[in-house]
Copies of this chain bind each other. A is one copy, B any other.
Amino acid sequence: MLGTASAMPVRDRNQSAQALNVHGRLFLVDCGEGAQRGMVSYGVSMQKVDSVFISHIHGDHIYGLQGLMSTLGMGGRTVPLHIYGPQNLHPHIKFFLSYNEWLPYEIVFHKVDTQFPEVLLETKSLRVTAFPLMHGVETYGYIFAEKEPQWNVHKECIEQYGLTLTEIGTLKRGEDVVREDGSVIPLEVAAYKRFSPRSYAYVSDTAVFPGEVEVLQGVTVLYHEATFLNEHVDKASARLHSTTLQVAQLAHDAGVQKLIIGHYSSRNTDHLLYQEECRSIFPETYAAEDGDVFEI
């Protein structure tokens, strides 16, 4: 958690930015002012950032981007940096490049433009999906989901059953082995998966909206903005932000395992108050502070 403040600057928090480590691959989600100093402070290796996902072009989500792009160049980066975000982010990157011709690496902009959940990036083990939020300006949430891992065959079973290469292949495809004599070596006995697929959703900024619970259904860990305490539900509604109780109810309804909140209004930055309100509905809520690290 590189930044947990909302739009007005406050003393003890940077503005929205998070680093997400997926099997050693590093993603940055939003990049508010101070993100690069946050990475230095909390031991996140800036050069290892692979891609940046930007929710929307409000300043508290992007004003750390120019500094980051510049510092990566000064550090001698040659690996391309991929940036995903709404179309209106593109001029910001083009403007930056217009006076930084010296940059030793390429910046590849990927436009996000969708009304429905859409896969942006897919690798052997990971799928990143974008979906639209409700915040007045074009804004996207992102879900980072591990794919089902392959089945691995227990080494001791190979010997025990005298598994042939063909039979090992059958197990790796996720099927039981059925031998000519009719005997069965069950998949669950002879093979295992290294992990159950986990997922992380980043949802900021937005009012809670119809259909949101379906998009987030079953996510392992949900980060959701909770700009306002429950008493300011009218402000939240007017400004297209969320309250503690709305978000906690959403987490409950979507059946997520853990809820992390942030983006606290500068009017009240006491994260424990926010946490307490959420926990009245959803006990597994954690109100983030800058520098917090969460395992998924």
Contacts and interface: CB of A to CB of B under 8 A. Distances in A.
A220 interface: no
Query: How many protomers of this protein does the assembly include?
Result: 2
A170 interface: no
A59 to B, nearest CB: 4
Contacts of A67: 9, 33, 59-60, 63
Contact of A66 (B7, B63, B99): B63
A11 to B, nearest CB: 5
Interface string A28-49: 0000011011011100000000
Nearest to A88: B99
Interface string A71-98: 1001100000000000010010001001
A57 interface: yes
Interface string A156-187: 00000000000000000000000000000000
B41 A37 contact: no
A261 to B, nearest CB: 21
Contacts of A7: 71, 74
Contact of A40 (B11, B60, B71): B11
Nearest to A14: B37
A162 to B, nearest CB: 58
A106 to B, nearest CB: 19
A8 interface: yes
A39 B57 CA distance: 23
Given A59-B67, A63-B63, A88-B99, A9 B37 contact: yes
Interface string A86-125: 0010010001001100000000000000000000000000
A141 interface: no
A21 interface: no
A220 B41 CA distance: 36
A132 interface: no
A262 interface: no
A10 interface: yes
8 pairs of A and B residues whose beta carbons are closest in the complex: A59-B70, A9-B37, A9-B36, A63-B67, A11-B41, A33-B67, A95-B95, A9-B40
17 contacts: A7-B71, A7-B74, A8-B71, A8-B74, A8-B75, A14-B37, A33-B37, A33-B63, A33-B64, A59-B66, A60-B67, A63-B63, A63-B67, A63-B70, A88-B99, A91-B98, A95-B95
